[in-house]
Amino acid sequence: MTRGDRIGHPFRDPGLLQQALTHRSAGAPHNERLEFLGDSIVNLIVAEALFARWPKADEGALTRARAALVCEGALAAMARTLELGQRLTLGPGEMKSGGHRRDSILADAFEAVVAAIYLDAGFEACRARVLPWFDAPMAAVPVGKPEKDPKTRLQEWLQARQKPLPVYELVSETGDDHARHFRVRCRLTDPDVTTEGEGSSRRLAEQQAAAAALEQLDSK
Interatomic CA distance for residues 79 and 28, integer angstroms: 22
Q: Give how many domains the chain has, as a whole number.
A: 2
Are residues 101 and 208 both part of a single domain? no
Q: How many H-runs (helices) and E-runs (strands) does the chain carry?
A: 10, 3
Are 79 and 136 in the same domain? yes
Q: Is 6 domain-assigned?
A: no
38 shares its domain with 131: yes
23 with 105, same domain?
Answer: yes
pLDDT in tens, the chain (220 residues): 544 488 999 999 999 999 999 998 988 899 999 999 999 999 999 999 999 988 888 888 888 889 989 988 889 999 999 999 999 988 888 888 888 888 889 999 999 999 999 999 999 999 999 999 998 888 877 765 545 778 988 999 999 899 999 999 999 998 877 677 899 999 999 899 999 988 878 888 898 899 899 888 877 6
Q: Which of 92, 117, 140 is the last residue of a domain?
A: 140
Q: What is the mean pLDDT of the chain?
A: 89
Residue of 35, 39, 108, 206 marked active site:
39
| Claim to verify: residue 170 and residue 64 sit in the same structural domain | no
3-state secondary structure of 182: strand
Residue 153 contacts residue 214 (beta carbons within 8 Å): yes
Last residue of a domain, one of 115, 140, 165: 140
| Active-site residue, 83 included | no
32 is known as an active-site residue: no
Determine which one of 35, 111, 120, 206 is catalytic.
Answer: 111
Residue 145 lies in a domain: no
pLDDT at site 145: 52
**Domain that includes residue 158, residue range:** 150-219
CATH assignment at residue 197: 3.30.160.20
Vertex 43, ends 133 and 20: CA angle to 5°?
65
pLDDT tens, 103-154? 889 999 999 999 999 999 999 999 999 999 998 888 877 765 545 778 988 9
Which CATH number does the domain housing residue 55 bear? 1.10.1520.10
Task: Give the three-class secondary structure for 174.
Answer: strand
Does 173 share its domain with 207?
A: yes
How much is the pLDDT for 60? 85
- Looking at the fold, whether 120 and 79 belong to one and the same domain comes out as yes
